[in-house]
């Protein structure tokens, strides 16, 4: 990834030469807007200029010691910015910094990091960053505007697909002076783009071998972050050590962060060995997602005597909720009554109790557990105005906030749900012939395939197939390898799959890829359900043009209502909390951020508990 030989770099760099030929070096022009310390996607930043520290960090946290974390898997690259290879944990943030840093108590607000200030106009047609004069890379070289433009073009041409897509929207890059850079964004009406550029990683142009940039590598990178890579055990461990000359330690956004002198990530290939290593103290903090293990696996002396502490953190982010997704491109799922009936037959209460100890929560929204969710919230005047042109797009009970996912008696044989499902199926043209449900028109059975790619998905799908069989529906569960699964999923060659859309507190352009009508016919998009809805498209357009938080929230909730009403998925489950176990000598601030727990704010107690 990185190479200290600047002459070699420039010799191998047609792209870098293109950067310099495309730059316009200008004297700073009069500002069209005020240069500010922060920028919010909607509304204004919560922390004012001159704030002392973020509320989720302890500015007086002890410094020093070591944190060991475990990772299930492996790595073969130290470059997290390319497609090739499996990157090591935490290169971004620890070693490679961005122009700005997130405020983790706000949906999407950035504060000054490498860039001391940001400037943009009301239309967000351009953005200007002013680099902090103190900023330098770990080798002592100052961070300049030229490094920023170099990084932008490098990632636009050779970075990950998301980098290429976003950074190609920039119409012009200008170095205004040594520490000031401006990006013109054209008339794309993408109000998120200044923030996307604010999160752009900045690389040292003097130390990057562009010709080899897209190759996975274990060369230690040069960055501007609080740590440097100290030691690499191929595929087994990586150790970061504090950079004693880190330029940004006193920045308000960094106070109370980066408290350990050394951070090591140890990698494990086997899940059982991974867990056993934590119980014996080989690493310090463990994030748990297995309900069975969380309920029964921690009944050990170290937990009982307080040396290991189990905690549940609550975040305001949309939860990662799974769903069985209907592919409505299939004729069998074209009728919403069929989809509604199938959703009624899933016995979520039985599954949650028998598979997950009742610890999971039933998904009821595409933005579960956040302020963006429409679940059990009556639509306000803003939402109703947005939805008014699309009569019938939202169910009355979804609009007034009284709708809930179907519930059963938890027996696995709920007769009420079965009767309701069969009534819907009869209205859709199906009737029972013996033990099989068949179409009255042509006698074809109601049958489909649930495609899965791992044993956990298979177990859940088999339970669902048993539920469906009670109504005479034949659901065949097919377990395929990861390569076949991805190929069929990306080409929409499936009837039903399990999937979860990763949502944030600031959904944006990606919603068109998830749910937009145009994406329904674009192979490789994530509109797996094949939804084509003018109402969905209009709500996505509304959330993209929103400028203030209330109108943005209204647009997202309205989108949520349309998607819920369309019955495009069978809602499954999500973890309502973040489960974390830690050895007691590791401590954290009293306040949890909106994003949940943040390891970068944690520290090591001065005295370690007895082993």
| Residue-wise pLDDT tens digits, 157-175 | 999 988 998 999 999 999 9
Q: Which residue, 117, 92, 110, 132, is CA-closest to 223?
A: 92
Residue 561, in any domain of the structure? yes
Same-domain check for residues 339 and 199: no
Using only C-alpha atoms, what is the Rg of the chain?
A: 26
Give the C-alpha separation, 286 to 275, whole Å.
8
Any domain includes 441:
yes
H or E segment and range at residue 475 = strand 474-479
Rounded distance between C-alpha atoms, residue 208 and residue 2, angstroms = 4
DSSP string, 41-103: SSS--SSPTT--S-TTS-TT-----EEEEEEES---BS-TTSSSS-BPTTHHHHTB-BSEEE-
Looking at residue 187, what is its pLDDT?
78
**585 within a domain of the structure (yes/no):** no
- Give the separation between CA 319 and CA 575, rounded to whole angstroms: 7
250 lies in some domain: no
Domain, as residue range, for 331: 323-574
Tell me how many domains the chain contains. Answer: 2
The share of the chain scoring above pLDDT 90, in percent, equals: 91
How far does the chain reach from its first CA to its final CA, in angstroms?
40
Is 553 inside a domain boundary? yes
* pLDDT at position 17 over 60: no
Q: Identify the band that residue 33 occupies on the pLDDT scale cut at 50, 70 and 90.
A: confident
CB 598 within 8 A of CB 367: no
- pLDDT for residue 25 is more than 90: no
Residue 9's pLDDT is 37
Q: What is the CATH number of the domain that holds 14?
A: 3.40.190.10
- Could you tell me what percent of the chain has a pLDDT over 70? 94
CATH code of the domain containing 402: 3.10.105.10
466, with CB counted inside 10 A (0-12, 13-18, 19+), is middle
Question: What would the mean pLDDT of 140-155 be, rounded to a whole number?
Answer: 98
Residue 570 lies in a domain: yes
CA pair distance 569, 560, nearest whole angstrom: 13
pTM: 0.89
**Are 346 and 200 found together in one domain?**
no
| Nearest Cα residue to 522 out of 510, 534, 513, 509 | 513
Q: What is the pLDDT of residues 337-377, one digit of tens each?
A: 999 999 999 999 999 999 999 999 999 999 999 999 999 99
d(CA 310, CA 41): 35
Query: Which residue, 210, 240, 265, sits at the end of a domain?
Result: 210
Taking 50 as the threshold, does the pLDDT of residue 552 lie above it? yes
Q: Is residue 387 part of a domain?
A: yes
Strand partners, 159: none
Residue 516 lies in a domain: yes
* Mean pLDDT, range 87-94, rounded to an integer: 94
What's the mean pLDDT in 6-20?
A: 39
> Where is the domain boundary, 210, 228, 247?
210
Mean pLDDT of 464-493: 96
pLDDT at 10: 36
CA distances from 445 to 251, 421, 502 (A): 66, 16, 35
The whole-number pLDDT of residue 607 equals: 66
């Amino acid at each position: 990834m990185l190479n200290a030989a600047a002459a070699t770099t420039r010799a191998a760099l047609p792209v870098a030469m293109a950067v310099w030929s495309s730059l316009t070096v200008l004297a700073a022009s009069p500002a069209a807007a005020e240069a500010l310390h922060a920028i919010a996607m909607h509304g204004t930043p919560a922390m004012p200029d001159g704030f002392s520290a973020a509320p989720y960090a302890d500015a007086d946290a002890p410094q020093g010691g070591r944190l060991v974390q475990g990772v299930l898997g492996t790595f073969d690259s130290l470059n997290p910015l390319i497609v090739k290879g499996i990157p090591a944990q935490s290169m971004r943030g620890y070693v490679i910094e961005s122009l700005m840093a997130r405020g983790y108590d706000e949906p999407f607000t950035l504060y000054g990091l490498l860039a001391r200030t940001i400037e943009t106009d009301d239309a967000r047609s351009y953005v200007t960053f002013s680099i902090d004069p103190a900023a330098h890379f770990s080798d002592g070289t100052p961070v300049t505007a030229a490094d920023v433009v170099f990084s932008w073009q490098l990632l636009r041409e050779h970075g990950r697909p998301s980098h290429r897509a976003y950074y190609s929207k920039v119409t012009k890059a200008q170095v205004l002076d040594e520490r000031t850079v401006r990006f013109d964004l054209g008339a794309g009406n993408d109000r998120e783009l200044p923030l996307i550029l604010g999160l752009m990683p900045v690389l040292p142009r003097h130390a990057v071998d562009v010709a080899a940039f897209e190759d996975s590598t274990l060369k230690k990178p040069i960055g501007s972050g609080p740590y440097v890579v100290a030691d690499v055990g191929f595929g087994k461990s990586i150790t970061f050590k504090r950079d004693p000359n880190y330029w940004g330690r006193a920045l308000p956004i960094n106070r109370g962060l980066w408290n350990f002198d050394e951070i090591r990530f140890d990698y494990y290939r086997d899940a059982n060995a991974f867990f056993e290593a934590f119980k014996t103290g080989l690493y310090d903090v463990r994030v748990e997602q297995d309900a069975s293990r969380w309920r029964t696996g921690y009944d050990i002396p170290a937990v009982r005597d307080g040396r290991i502490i189990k905690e549940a953190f609550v975040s305001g982010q949309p939860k990662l909720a799974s769903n069985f997704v209907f592919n409505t491109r299939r004729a069998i799922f074209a009728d919403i009554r069929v989809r509604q009936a199938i959703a009624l037959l899933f016995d979520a209460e039985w599954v949650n109790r028998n598979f997950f100890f009742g610890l999971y929560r039933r998904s009821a929204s595409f933005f579960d557990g956040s302020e963006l969710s429409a679940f059990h919230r009556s639509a306000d005047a803003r939402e109703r105005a947005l939805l008014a042109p699309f009569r019938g797009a939202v169910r009355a009970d979804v609009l007034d906030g009284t709708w809930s996912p179907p519930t059963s008696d938890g027996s696995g044989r709920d007769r009420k749900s079965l009767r309701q499902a069969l009534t819907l199926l009869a209205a859709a043209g199906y009737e029972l012939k013996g033990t099989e449900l068949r179409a009255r028109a042509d006698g074809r059975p109601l049958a489909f395939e649930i495609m899965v790619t791992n044993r956990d998905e298979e177990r859940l799908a088999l339970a669902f197939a048993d539920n469906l069989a009670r109504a005479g529906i034949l659901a065949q569960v097919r377990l395929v390898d990861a390569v076949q699964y991805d190929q069929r999923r990306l080409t929409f060659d499936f009837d039903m799959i399990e999937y979860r859309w990763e949502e944030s507190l600031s959904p944006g352009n990606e919603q068109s890829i998830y749910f937009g009508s145009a994406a329904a016919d674009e192979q490789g998009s994530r509109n797996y359900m094949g939804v084509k809805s003018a109402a969905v498209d209009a709500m996505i357009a509304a959330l993209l043009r929103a400028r203030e938080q209330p109108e943005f929230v209204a647009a997202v909730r309205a989108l949520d209502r349309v998607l819920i009403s369309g019955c495009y998925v069978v809602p499954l489950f999500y973890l309502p909390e973040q489960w974390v176990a830690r050895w007691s000598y590791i401590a954290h601030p009293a306040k949890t951020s909106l994003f949940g727990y943040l390891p970068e704010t944690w520290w090591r107690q001065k005295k370690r508990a007895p082993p």
